[in-house]
Structure 1
Amino acid sequence: MFKVRFKRNRIKDLKYLRNVILYIHLNPLKHGFTDNYQEYLYSSYKSILSSKPTILKREEVIEFFDDKDNFIHVHKENEQSDNFEEIE
Structure 2
Amino acid sequence: MSFSDRPTVSPLAAAGCLLFGIVGAIIVGLLAVGAALGHCAPQPDGTGCENSGLIDFLMFPGSLIVALLGGIWLARFVTRDRN
Q: TM-score, normalised by structure 1?
A: 0.30
Question: Counting helix residues as a fraction of each chain, which structure ranks higher?
Answer: 2
Question: Which of the pair has the greater relative contact order for Cα pairs under 8 Å at 6+ separation?
Answer: 2
Larger Rg: 2
